[in-house]
């Protein structure tokens, strides 16, 4: 099997060829059989020897034409033109049975021209978090990059402390970030910007390419996809942690996992990234930041359309976000998508915010409660029982009038999510060379809406998750 290299050849001005650099005693520890099948990838590539050969040998198909991509980005609000794949390499593209093209991208394979004094490596801790997190979001129905395989090494990589080094291959329709477009706009390399736009339209947004105003259609499409992604983050209590524009995919998929977390106690201003002192990327700021990021991206579109046209695209963000958020949240509590139920939803959320109850489990318990019953055991989780009882009387009537089956409601509420403490257990075992916890967790996360024997060990909240602070170093 051959990979294609459309990006590397058609946008050769924007990449640097770099061969992947191995680590000592590298070993294949996880691979994603369903993706391998879906893309008809040769199974012999995903054996220990096969993968090492394909990635690192002179004639290896996977490593032979690898390139590092150039991009920039707004990091915590500041423009940084010096970014690019500092430790990631685009290996090439593959196409699945439905004709969809996906990139194969290797993370942690050594320095590139964009490494800026950093080592080009990734540690096992963050690699495993990304591997599991992206699969978890995908199976929840939140658009995400995917995880193809994970390799470990006995070589130490230095962060705050020495840690085992690792690599992973991830897949995404492309690795085009907002920062790609921003970079060629701000550096005034407008011929390249034109080429990048044309490439993006033709390869990735063919429906926009054929419209009378293709660039406008493209900005609109990116806006709507981003709105959908962030709405689903908010629905599931997901905090990305580093929404810099270099971590934003133009496909509206969750991308570049770092210090992310799912909230346990519902706290609207939750921050888990310990470098985010100002709370710029707090849970409740994610929608606003997504729009801020779209605005930063839109500068690159100013070459192709007027300010009013740009505004027309960006103003679609808020209604799209709100519509998806409202519909999905009301589905979670078994009510019809009707504005008259919004107050009931908001009251439920404010009760969650005031009580030490797990966000994900609370919805599951609510789905399971019987609306015919005058009272429910769920009330015991709430400190102010009177407030809960008042809400319950209102809610049960609404739910009875909407008549969604219990199974249908449960199917909207995950039993299992990628909780920080479960990830931590998987990491600790993996660092001792035991990937069984990671495999069990992945298995449970494959069918997150079902409570099974496999999911049971991962359903409970951790102790003191609110106090968890995650390092950005990875």
Q: Which is nearer to ligand AMP, 206 or 279 (CB)?
A: 279
Site for ligand AMP contains 163 (CB under 6 A):
no
Q: Which is nearer to Mg ion, 153 or 247 (CB)?
A: 247
Q: How far apart are CA 6 and CA 14, in angstroms?
A: 12
Whose tokens are 């099974």? That residue is 452
Contacts with Mg ion by CB under 5 A lie at: 247, 256
367 three-class SS: helix
Q: How far apart are CA 88 and CA 67, in angstroms?
A: 9
Which residues participate in catalysis according to the annotation? 246
We find the least distance from the C-beta atom of residue 417 to Mg ion, in angstroms, to be 23
We find the least distance from the C-beta atom of residue 249 to ligand AMP, in angstroms, to be 12
We find the least distance from the C-beta atom of residue 111 to Mg ion, in angstroms, to be 16
We find the least distance from the C-beta atom of residue 406 to ligand AMP, in angstroms, to be 42
What is each CA distance from 465 to 132, 340, 388, in whole angstroms?
18, 34, 24
User: Torsion over CA of 458, 463, 466 and 472, rounded to 10 degrees?
Assistant: -70
Choosing among ligand AMP, Mg ion, none, which partner's interface includes residue 118 (Cβ < 5 to 8 Å by kind)? ligand AMP
What is each CA distance from 401 to 283, 297, 344, 373, 395, in whole angstroms?
33, 45, 14, 14, 10
151 three-class SS: strand
Choosing among ligand AMP, Mg ion, none, which partner's interface includes residue 228 (Cβ < 5 to 8 Å by kind)? none
Taking residue 136's Cβ as centre, other Cβ atoms within 10 Å add up to 30
What is each CA distance from 449 to 50, 360, 456, in whole angstroms?
35, 11, 12
| Angle at the Cα of 134 from the Cα atoms of 128 and 136, rounded to 5 degrees | 100
We find the least distance from the C-beta atom of residue 269 to ligand AMP, in angstroms, to be 22
Q: Which is nearer to ligand AMP, 164 or 414 (CB)?
A: 164
Q: Which is nearer to ligand AMP, 282 or 310 (CB)?
A: 282
We find the least distance from the C-beta atom of residue 256 to ligand AMP, in angstroms, to be 5
Taking residue 33's Cβ as centre, other Cβ atoms within 10 Å add up to 9
Site for ligand AMP contains 408 (CB under 6 A):
no
Q: How many residues bind ligand AMP (CB under 6 A)?
A: 17
Considering only the stretches 78-86, 215-223, 355-363, 409-417, report the one whose residues sit in contact with ligand AMP under the rule CB under 6 A. 78-86
468 closest CA partner among 416, 417, 420: 420
Which residues in the 87-126 window bind ligand AMP by CB under 6 A? 87-88, 114-115, 118-121
Which residues in the 249-278 window bind ligand AMP by CB under 6 A? 256, 258
Q: What residues contact 192, with CB distance under 8 A and at least 6 apart?
A: 11, 13, 14, 184
Q: Which is nearer to Mg ion, 22 or 126 (CB)?
A: 126
441 closest CA partner among 427, 451, 426: 426
Site for ligand AMP contains 285 (CB under 6 A):
no
Considering only the stretches 200-208, 239-247, 293-301, 367-375, report the one whose residues sit in contact with ligand AMP under the rule CB under 6 A. 239-247
Q: Which is nearer to Mg ion, 93 or 256 (CB)?
A: 256
Q: Which of 247, 360, 362, 420 binds ligand AMP (CB under 6 A)?
A: 247
**For binding to ligand AMP (CB under 6 A), which residues are involved?**
83-88, 114-115, 118-121, 242, 246-247, 256, 258
């Amino acid at each position: 099997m051959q990979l294609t290299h459309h990006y590397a050849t058609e946008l050769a001005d924007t990449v640097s060829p770099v061969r992947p650099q191995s680590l000592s005693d590298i070993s294949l520890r996880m691979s994603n059989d369903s993706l391998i099948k879906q893309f008809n990838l040769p199974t012999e590539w995903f054996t220990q020897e096969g993968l090492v050969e394909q990635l690192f040998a002179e004639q290896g198909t996977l490593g032979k034409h690898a390139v590092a991509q150039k991009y920039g980005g707004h990091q915590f609000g500041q423009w940084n033109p010096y970014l690019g794949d500092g430790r990631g390499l685009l290996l090439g593209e593959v196409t699945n049975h439905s004709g969809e093209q996906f990139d194969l991208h290797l993370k942690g394979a050594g320095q590139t021209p964009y490494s800026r004094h950093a080592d080009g490596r990734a540690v096992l801790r963050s690699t495993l978090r990304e591997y599991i997190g992206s699969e978890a979001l995908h199976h929840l129905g939140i658009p995400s990059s995917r995880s193809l395989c994970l390799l470990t090494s006995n070589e130490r990589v230095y962060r705050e402390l020495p840690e085992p080094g690792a690599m992973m291959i991830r897949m995404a329709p492309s690795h085009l970030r907002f920062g790609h477009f921003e970079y060629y706009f701000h550096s005034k390399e407008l011929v390249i910007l034109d080429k990048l736009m044309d490439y993006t339209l033709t390869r990735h947004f063919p429906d926009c390419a054929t419209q009378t105003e293709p660039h406008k259609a493209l900005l609109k499409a990116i806006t709507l996809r981003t709105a959908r992604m962030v709405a689903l983050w908010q629905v599931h209590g997901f905090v990305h942690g580093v929404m810099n524009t270099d971590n934003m995919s133009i496909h509206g998929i969750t991308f570049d996992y770092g210090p992310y977390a799912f909230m346990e106690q519902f706290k609207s201003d939750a921050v888990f990234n310990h470098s985010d002192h100002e709370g710029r990327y707090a849970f409740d700021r994610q929608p606003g930041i997504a729009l801020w990021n779209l605005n930063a991206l839109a500068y690159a579109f100013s070459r192709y359309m007027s300010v009013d046209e740009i505004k027309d695209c960006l103003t679609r963000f808020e209604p799209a976000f709100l519509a998806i958020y409202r519909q999905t949240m009301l589905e979670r509590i078994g009510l019809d998508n009707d504005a008259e139920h919004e107050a009931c939803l908001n009251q439920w959320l404010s009760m969650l915010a005031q009580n030490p109850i797990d966000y994900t489990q609370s919805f599951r318990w609510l789905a399971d409660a019987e609306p015919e019953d005058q009272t429910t055991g769920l009330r015991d989780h709430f400190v102010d029982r009177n407030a809960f009882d008042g809400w319950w009387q209102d809610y049960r009537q609404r739910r009875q009038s909407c008549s969604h089956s219990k199974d249908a409601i449960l199917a909207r509420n995950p039993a299992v999510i990628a909780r920080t403490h479960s990830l931590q257990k998987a990491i600790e075992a993996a660092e001792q060379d035991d990937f069984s916890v990671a495999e069990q967790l992945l298995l449970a996360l494959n069918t997150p809406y079902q409570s099974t024997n496999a999911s049971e060990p991962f359903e409970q909240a951790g102790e003191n998750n609110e106090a968890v602070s995650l390092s950005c170093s990875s």
